[in-house]
Structure 1
Amino acid sequence: MKKDRFTIWQKDMSAQITYSASVITTLTLKIRRKGDLMATGELLDKKLREIRTKREVLLQPAPNYESYKTMLERGFLVRYNYESTAIEGNPLTQIEHDGILNRDQCPNTDRMRSVYEAINHADAFCYVNQHAIEPLNEERLLTLHKLLMSHLLDGGKYRTCNITVRGATHPFPPYTELPQLMNQFFTGLEEKRLSLTKYELAAWAHEEFVSIHPFVDGNGRMARLIMNYILLSYDCLPISVPIEKKEEYFKMLDNYYTDRNIIPLVELIIQQEEREADRVIKVMEPLSYPLIIDYNELHNRYPLKEDYIKELRIIMDRYREEIEKRRGF
């Protein structure tokens, strides 16, 4: 059975919960030392648990929950698709990504490679979303790369040549070492689950994969997909690296080759995890009072006139419409 990776929010972000955006937004993420980092990661977990345990406000689920959930998923996919491909030089705008993914619109362009990159990246993330309940192994990694490279090159195979990357200050391993290095990567992935936090594991896997660069193309996108694969396996929200942090992000990856320091990327991951949590809260947070009323129960419990019930229904319907407008519908 495929597990919906937003299930953790579906269970808890209904009208049965009172949310407090301030619970998340008050987190301090100025991390410089590993001790601070660990404490901050634990604080984030604690705050997320607090939000998910504020229950029993209403007995019925929020109206149009599936619409909210779909909006969240589509919104993230478009933004993630745009940012992860734009970081690698894809010229499509976020609006064009939205048209391709949500409205079957192909931009008027001769840049079909860019369009395929957008479609493939979305397909690859859907694969991650569906399979993250299973351990990441070589077979799934190669399948992921094959999806990412569809119509572009013969994907799903390690490179058989040496490569250089513009802007990189260090050489990547020769292709003859890839079998051994990738075997060590998967072994390390399992071993480090016992010693690293989920944020540290996601950062290590991302940086280690980039340092190996096992494919001819798509290594950066693959690293970010792997990072989300691990986050989703722990029931965290998937994250996206903002395009405005591109230079800072590339510097982290480049520095890892010499100092093997994952802390800067862990800090970035936690910051973006907070960012995604804020987005979910903003969309899903019930405002001041229930949107659904059981009018029959209300009539049975209180001696209210039919005209009053009817008027109340009209008022609540108008209120619900206004809330949905404010939430983007």
Structure 2
Amino acid sequence: MEKDLLEIQVKHLDNVLKESDPNRFELLEKEFALAYTCDAVGMCDKKITLEDVKRINKTKVLPDFSEREQKEILNHLNAFEYVKQEVHDNKPFTEEFVKDIHEKLVADIFPGGVYRNVNISIFGAAHQPPDHVKVYARMARFFNTLEQFEGSEVELATYAHASIAKIHPFVDANGRLAKLVLNYFLIKFGYLPISIPLVQMDEYIKYLEVFKVEKDLQPLTKFFKSLLIKRYDAVLNALDI
């Protein structure tokens, strides 16, 4: 039922956009990018508000925040624009592309795009990232599995996201990277990009842990589908449909 509703919404929006003012939809997408950045960066620092993101996007400076916090916000906005442009240009999903996204996320903070050479842990998580010596092999297996993936498009996007989050290939910014990977595939497959609201972070983490521990992708896929449905509802309502 959810899938049917989602596909109906996709077709509905496609038809609406043919008749509506493109500037209105473009404005909605700009507003989404700001809210998405607030959610993505806010998962690590809950002090950041949507107004903060709007302000730094306009002025490029947030005096009340550290230099790193400011760069993380601006970098995420830049990385999201990069991902959207690369989808538009039919950029293939490769290891180098993943490293490029990561490099943009951490630009002027620390050298990005380099797999970690230390072990890391996630506080409170049932599953911990693999030993750093296994990262290269795990990433190679991930790309190989992705090429042979036989599920739906939303399932593939979910699998790509969850796998990056599980491997945690870099020292930092893996969560933001995994969410950008999710949206790369959603946009590529003709869907709207989505954001994981901070108020649903615990729910998201629960379903992600199910995949990490039990290798069951369905709860997280269902969660992302529900976010997609809400996103389409919001856009259609904003367009007064």
TM-score past 0.5 threshold: yes
Aligned equivalents of 1:51 and 1:69: distance in 2? 10
CA contact (8 A) 1:77 1:122 kept: yes
1:71 aligned partner: 27
1:107 aligned partner: 62
1:51–1:157 distance in 2 versus 1, CA, 3 Å: closer
Which one of the candidate residues 197, 207, 210 is aligned to 1:255?
Answer: 210
1:46 aligned partner: 8
Map Cα deviations across residues 139-175 of structure 1 (whole Å, 9 max, x no partner): 1100000000111111010001111122222332111
- 1:153 equivalent to 2:110? Answer yes
1:86 aligned partner: 42
1:211 aligned partner: 166
Give the gaps of 5 or more residues in structure 2: none
Aligned equivalents of 2:140 and 2:131: distance in 1? 15
Aligned equivalents of 2:118 and 2:10: distance in 1? 46
Give 2:8's aligned amino acid.
K
Map Cα deviations across residues 38-81 of structure 1 (whole Å, 9 max, x no partner): x521442134324544799xxxx65xx24313311211001000
CA contact (8 A) 1:85 1:117 kept: yes
Residue 270 of structure 1, CA deviation:
1.1
Aligned equivalents of 1:88 and 1:165: distance in 2? 12
2:85 aligned partner: 130
Which one of the candidate residues 142, 158, 181 is aligned to 1:226?
Answer: 181
Cα-Cα RMSD: 1.9
Greater Cα radius of gyration, structure 1 or 2? 1
- 1:169 equivalent to 2:126? Answer yes
Helix, strand or coil: the match of 2:182?
helix
Aligned equivalents of 2:15 and 2:66: distance in 1? 48
Helix, strand or coil: the match of 2:148?
helix
1:180–1:105 distance in 2 versus 1, CA, 3 Å: closer
Which one of the candidate residues 201, 219, 232 is aligned to 1:277?
Answer: 232
1:176–1:54 distance in 2 versus 1, CA, 3 Å: closer
Give the gaps of 5 or more residues in structure 1: 1-38, 287-329
Helix, strand or coil: the match of 1:201?
helix
Helix, strand or coil: the match of 1:230?
helix
Aligned equivalents of 2:134 and 2:52: distance in 1? 40
Aligned equivalents of 1:158 and 1:188: distance in 2? 19
Helix, strand or coil: the match of 1:107?
coil
CA contact (8 A) 1:90 1:114 kept: no
Aligned equivalents of 1:191 and 1:91: distance in 2? 41
Give 1:203's aligned amino acid.
T
- 1:265 equivalent to 2:220? Answer yes
More helix by share: 2
1:170–1:270 distance in 2 versus 1, CA, 3 Å: closer
Aligned equivalents of 1:208 and 1:53: distance in 2? 34
- 1:180 equivalent to 2:137? Answer yes
2:53 aligned partner: 97
Identity of aligned residues (%): 29
Residue 134 of structure 1, CA deviation:
2.4
